[in-house]
Amino acid sequence: MNDDGWLADTRISYDTVAASYADLLRNLLAETPYERATLALFADLVHAAGGGPVADVGCGPGRITAHLHELGVEAFGIDLSPGMIDVARRDHPGLRFEVGSMTDLDLDDGSVAGLIAWYSLIHIPDSQVGSVFAHFRRVLRPGSPLLLSFHVGDESRLKTQGYGGHPMKVHVHRRQPDQVAAWLREGGFTVEAQMTLTSVESSLGGIIFGRRQS
C-alpha cells in the first residue's frame, strides 16, 4: 500500500462513522468477559506499579477509557478523529479526551504510568509501527505496563464501508502476535504475556502485555 495520505483517510473515515460506531460498540464489553478480564489485569498492573495517568491511545468513543476509569485507573483518551473525540466527550463528560495521533504523541517524556492501544494499531502500516512504539516508550515511565490488542492474521485489506454502512477508506492490517512481540522487544519493551482469543470483538484477536524497560 501507499502510505501517502493514510492518516488523513483514517481521520476522515472515523469522523464519518463516529456516531454509528459508538452506538454499535457501546455495550460490547458486556458480551466479552475475557476482554473484561484482560482490562482488569491491566488495571491491577497499573495500580501495582504505583498508579498515575494512563493513556488510551486510539480511544475512539471512549468506551475503554471509561471502563478503565470504573476500575480505578486515571485513564484519558487520545484519538486521531475529532468526530470520535466529540462523541467521547458527549458520552463521558467527566473524563479527559484529546485529539492526537499515535504517530506523533503530544505527551511529555515519561508522563504516563500505563498505555493501552485497544484494536487501534490495525490501521498503522508496518513501516510506521517502529516509530509508534518509540513514542509509546518515550511517554511511558520506566517499568510501566503496556497493553496492545489487534486482529490476528497475515493480510491487509482495504475497508470501504463499515459501521452503519457509511463509506470508509482505511487499510486494516492483521498481524501475528510473534511479529508484534518482536517489534516491541526491538523498541525497548519486555513482553510479559501474549495470547489469542475469539469473541464478538474479533474473530481472532491478539493480546500482548508488555512493560517499558528502564
Residue 214: which pLDDT band, with cuts at 50, 70 and 90? confident
Flag whether 1 is in a domain. Answer: no
For the stretch 127-170, pLDDT in tens is 999 999 999 999 999 999 999 999 999 999 998 887 777 888 99
Measured CA to CA, the distance from residue 118 to residue 121 in angstroms comes to 8
pLDDT the model gives residue 144? 98
Q: What is the pLDDT of residue 2?
A: 44
Predicted confidence at residue 1, as pLDDT, reads 40
Specify if 174 maps to a domain. yes
Q: Which of 105, 75, 99 is closest to 87 using CA atoms?
A: 99
Q: 54 near 71, Cβ under 8 Å?
A: no
Q: Please report, rounded to a whole number, the percentage of residues in the chain having pLDDT higher than 70.
A: 98
pLDDT in tens, 167-211: 889 999 999 999 999 999 999 999 999 999 999 999 999 999 999
- Burial letters for 144-174: b for 16+ Cβ neighbours within 10 Å, e otherwise? bbbbbbbbbbeeeeeeeebbeeeebbbbebb
126 assigned to some structural domain: yes
Note whether 60 and 90 are within 8 A (CB): no
CA separation for the pair 199, 176 (Å, rounded): 17
Give the number of domains in the chain.
Answer: 1
> Would residue 18 count as lying in a domain?
yes
Q: Which residues of 100-134 are buried (b: 16+ CB within 10 A; e: fewer)?
A: bbbeebebeeeebbbbbbbbbbbbbeeebbeebbe
| 116 in a structural domain | yes
pTM over 0.85: yes
Q: Is residue 71 part of a domain?
A: yes
96 within some domain: yes
Q: pLDDT at position 4, please?
A: 59
Whether residue 119 is contained in a domain is answered as yes
**Can you give the CATH number for the domain in which 119 is found?**
3.40.50.150
Show the CA angle centred on residue 135, arms to residues 131 and 141, nearest 5°. Answer: 145
How far apart are the C-alpha atoms of 108 and 124, rounded to whole Å?
22
Specify whether the CB–CB gap between 106 and 83 falls below 8 A. no
Share of the chain above pLDDT 90, in %: 91
- Domain with 24 in it: 6-212
